[in-house]
Structure 1
């Protein structure tokens, strides 16, 4: 219970703003029951959106890695306008009878681009000031989006359109901007080739397992006979998965590996896969719901795994997110495309249906073999100790980033041989064993801060900021709220005549070398 209280303490509604974006995606991607030319436009819309989204995530991640910086905050406005435009074109094309192929394609392009931007921007928040919240905010936002979607569906169609086009994108933008305003754009270690190889070596198993499950879910959902209960089954599976992940993160204090969850889910999924073949296609809806549940559990855990891995290694968030989630999005697009090609022929054909089931079972078996041989190096959670103290790994990432920048200016390149563990990094940052009193350097820094008029509490906050601790970590150490910590930080910046945390860290380096 202490872990749950620590994670929920200081939680603000704008930290769940991802749910407003998710609600819009439910509305405009929930499905379309139509025929003729409009159904063809729907296929163009879905194909464009599902193709562009992984490409946009990959391109933006590669751009951030190449430029060694994260996305600027103003891109949040671009993401919101694109989301609103996509929703407007969606309703024009599929509800108000004004659509054609061009409008459907434009809606898919805007939707895919906005999804990519929202994904990367929220991930950037979660791995900086929001990393303690990432464990709980990501699944809570998912669960909240289902509730919002069900409430909005009770409104008249005009009200639904107005909400999806104007209200929800505005709320998504407001929450994202307010969350991004809480973070500082500190320098992080660039994604070097050794770091990239290490990340691929430690993350490819969970990424491949989630990709296989995403492909299977899209394929089965696409060839399922049209039923009114299909959409409800997906929502139930999504909500149940989100609530399960919330429970796992709140109450498992020792952390856990995503591969361990897969070891439980995949055998159960294999059994459910056999139900339509053995007892008839009336069990297809149950299969789709269970597939959605299983996929969303591991998908949410993979997003959290990506955030935790980024935090532990002090790496840039956008390239790591593209590395983890890009293949999953691409596999879902492939599964959906294959279902479009095979769906009409397979819907009422038991033999072909059985062949598709067999293909999915084989893929799950391959994934299960990978799961059992996994090393479990990429955790999908953080231990209680890490929630209280994560400053060492973050400071290491910032110093590595500055060292890389200096090496680039001098025409040299830094290489890495072996990854340092979190404990080793913490020991390195801790420095020599503590003595009976403060060191000369600590006294010099303390005197400097006193001369600038900082109060005793502000000096405590400033010293922790200089060591690389985040606002949430400082609040936990000093037993004060995050808002109080931010207030102290603003006062410190004003009294020291600086404008960012990076300047404060640089000041610490100058005083240490003096």
Structure 2
């Protein structure tokens, strides 16, 4: 609260020769306080599972966008006072909401984590943070009128990104790899396409990039409970790693962009830098989707499908089926085989011919690299016992 007040109130922000000291202190206090608040909320959401994390995140962002538009209608003094008290309001809501969430056992809360950091998640978070930092560092100054328009477009992009992630996760049930590399990364690359142009196109470009970044940010929040459950570690541990490296990526990206900007002399130079960033982002996206990453780790997991699974058997079966790239009909046959059902039962249950059952079973065995129903059951039991 004190940091926000120091940054927003004219009487403190313009305190003569002490202005820089006040600004620096306000920035540090705001950064530390914001980090604590975000970690607490993220840990609380992660304890609720991926589906509810996505739902609450989308609702929170929609309320935040509405609050921003309403605050803009108020006088400057009133708006500054409200902004200064927002951290207190957030923590009040957090304490109230936390009472309805079951607490994990004390031994789990106080356990020392011996797992190695989630390297792949850290790499993805760092890359997206780097891209966001580069975009912020390369944004050319615009007039006051365009700043207002840019802020409003960014809010629209945040709302759009939130609704888009809800649709792609809930309706189309896309997995993490495709949510990240097929949608979020190309959107962020598209933002750089507009950057070398002048108003209004460069302003639109920042909004497009914000759309992709916000989309990924919610993907990251949905990923935390999945990693926490699979590794059997506290959600806060996973959250802190993700937030730390996405912020470090932003810091490094903004510094690199500022250094690059000092070397750019004309629009052609900006166009070349933007083209290089776009090329690099798309190469990363194509490489990540093309190197088989969707068949390993958490990338192939569909967060809403994972949340809908009601037992460890279903969760393990879903992971194994996705990793083996089974078709929808093969998945149905796979689960019946895993329950010990014979071909006659499967034929009657799914109302298909005997030859069709044989064909599906043969394909499932081949994709799972097993030779019998018992080997398939053993493979599923092994999958259930693995802590990811």
Provide the rounded CA distance (Å) in 2 between the counterparts of 1:110 and 1:266: 32
Q: TM-score normalised to the size of structure 2?
A: 0.69
Which of 149, 152, 160 matches 1:232?
A: 152
Superposed, 1:300-449 pairs within 5 Å as 300-341=218-259, 343=261, 346=264, 349-372=266-289, 373=291, 375-376=293-294, 377-379=297-299, 381-384=302-305, 386-387=307-308, 389=310, 424=381
| Cα distance change on mapping 1:173 and 1:264 into 2, 3 Å | closer
Post-superposition CA distance 1:147-175 (Å, at most 9, x none): 11111111111211221123x23321111
Instruction: Tell me which residue corresponds to 2:136.
Output: 218
CA contact (8 A) 2:184 2:216 kept: no
Instruction: Tell me which residue corresponds to 2:75.
Output: 156
Please say if 1:180 is aligned against 2:98.
yes
Secondary structure of 1:196's aligned partner: coil
CA contact (8 A) 1:206 1:302 kept: no
Q: TM-score normalised to the size of structure 1?
A: 0.53
Post-superposition CA distance 1:328-355 (Å, at most 9, x none): 1112122333444555775x72133123
CA contact (8 A) 2:43 2:236 kept: yes
Provide the rounded CA distance (Å) in 1 between the counterparts of 2:382 and 2:66: 42
Instruction: Tell me which residue corresponds to 1:137.
Output: 56
Provide the rounded CA distance (Å) in 2 between the counterparts of 1:233 and 1:393: 42
| Cα distance change on mapping 1:363 and 1:219 into 2, 3 Å | farther
Post-superposition CA distance 1:185-229 (Å, at most 9, x none): 42336432xx316x32x43553344234323322333x3544332
Post-superposition CA distance 1:414-462 (Å, at most 9, x none): xxxxxxxx96489569xxxxxxxxxxxxxxxxxxxxxxxxxxxxxxxxx
Provide the rounded CA distance (Å) in 1 between the counterparts of 2:195 and 2:84: 39
Report the CA distance between 1:393 and its aligned residue.
Answer: 12
Which segments of 5 or more consecutive residues in structure 2 lack a partner in the other structure?
Answer: 316-378
Please say if 1:87 is aligned against 2:4.
yes
Please say if 1:291 is aligned against 2:213.
no
CA contact (8 A) 2:190 2:205 kept: no
Provide the rounded CA distance (Å) in 2 between the counterparts of 1:357 and 1:305: 30
| Cα distance change on mapping 1:345 and 1:179 into 2, 3 Å | same
Provide the rounded CA distance (Å) in 1 between the counterparts of 2:241 and 2:53: 18
Instruction: Tell me which residue corresponds to 2:121.
Output: 203
Instruction: Tell me which residue corresponds to 1:246.
Output: 166
CA contact (8 A) 1:86 1:107 kept: yes
| Cα distance change on mapping 1:150 and 1:258 into 2, 3 Å | farther
Post-superposition CA distance 1:97-150 (Å, at most 9, x none): 336111111111111111211122112212324655212112221222111111
Cα RMSD for the two superposed structures: 3.4
| Cα distance change on mapping 1:393 and 1:311 into 2, 3 Å | farther
CA contact (8 A) 2:180 2:219 kept: no
| Cα distance change on mapping 1:204 and 1:334 into 2, 3 Å | closer
| Cα distance change on mapping 1:330 and 1:281 into 2, 3 Å | same
CA contact (8 A) 1:211 1:327 kept: yes
Instruction: Tell me which residue corresponds to 2:352.
Output: none
